[in-house]
Amino acid sequence: MNRPVAPQLGAVHNPILVALDVPDADRAMTLVSRLAPVVGGFKIGKELFTSAGPEIVRRVRAAGAPVFLDLKFHDIPNTVARAVAVAVRLDVQMLTIHASGGLEMMRAAAESAQAAASQAGVNAPLLLAVTVLTSMDSAALGETGCDTNVGRQVERLASLAVKAGIGGLVCSPLEIAMLRQVLPSRIQLVTPGIRTGADAGDDQKRTLSPREALQAGANWLVIGRPITAAADPRAAAEGIVQSLG
Ligand code: C5P
């Protein structure tokens, strides 16, 4: 089983993971150097990873910050297992896979994470399953041949992920309460779609504030633009930390 334990954050759990949604390493590292002292870690997604490669993971780790590698692996079990092992050797603390890849794929990922971590002498990362992308509604799901509604499909894939030994899930703010009712409490929930109220309207439609999301049962908050697009990103991050008070 995956340890549902996150990055070493010192005595106080800082749940804020900043999404480094920037196109190059220089911009990413400018944010990391400003924000590392005040946040819990950084999310590296497909844009930055495709641009800057594994070296960006090494650089963020060298700055002393935990890394959430959000590449949403979805492939045959052997390929996902091997990619997870490489990510573990890069010493990431969290990484994502698609639950829709199936039970066998998720089990292969979980086993590979454990094996690679003990071989490398590092802590196993928290494996997170992505259920239904929040960009999909029930009609879009139906077009893929999945004739159920989004809520039921999220619950179904979440249960499958737990059965596979996955330690956490990525979920929308509005799914937290439902998932907390049906999942074991050891399962960690990581939630994007966080807005502070001070932000200008953007493409996130279903949002909660940082405090509301934690109260609903989230363990980790992925926050991008409310911090990275602020005039003073560090002050914005500090303001959010204080709001959790
Ligand atoms: O800038 P913002 O706070 O909206 O960034 C949220 C981050 O979380 C982005 O990296 C986005 O891709 C990611 N995300 C999301 N909604 C999901 C899954 C991931 O916003 N359902």
Q: Which atom number of ligand 1 is nearest to the Cα of residue 45?
A: 10
Residue with the nearest Cα to atom 13 of ligand 1? Answer: 192
CA angle, residues 79, 224, 55, in degrees to nearest 5 = 45
Q: Is residue 152 part of a domain?
A: yes
Q: Is residue 3 part of a domain?
A: no
pLDDT over 60 at 209, yes or no: yes
Q: Is residue 171 part of a domain?
A: yes
CATH number where 150 lies: 3.20.20.70
Structural domain containing residue 19: 8-243
Q: Is residue 90 part of a domain?
A: yes
* Joined tokens for residue 213: 């999301």
Residue 205 is a catalytic residue: no
Q: Is residue 2 part of a domain?
A: no
Mean pLDDT computed over every residue of the chain: 92
Q: Is residue 1 part of a domain?
A: no
Confidence of residue 202 (pLDDT cuts 50, 70, 90): confident
pLDDT tens-digit series, residues 83-119: 999 999 999 999 999 999 999 999 999 999 999 999 9
243: phi then psi, degrees, rounded to nearest 5: -65, -15
Q: Is residue 139 part of a domain?
A: yes
Q: Residue 8's pLDDT is what? A: 38
Q: Which residue has the higher pLDDT, 5 or 54?
A: 54
Pocket of ligand 1 (CB under 6 A): 19, 21, 45, 133-134, 170, 172, 192-193, 204, 222-226
Confidence of residue 216 (pLDDT cuts 50, 70, 90): very high
How many domains does the chain divide into?
A: 1
CB 97 within 8 A of CB 105: yes
Q: How far is CA 32 from CA 45, 96, 168, 218, in A?
A: 15, 21, 25, 23
pLDDT tens-digit series, residues 100-109: 999 999 999 9
pTM (2 d.p.) = 0.93
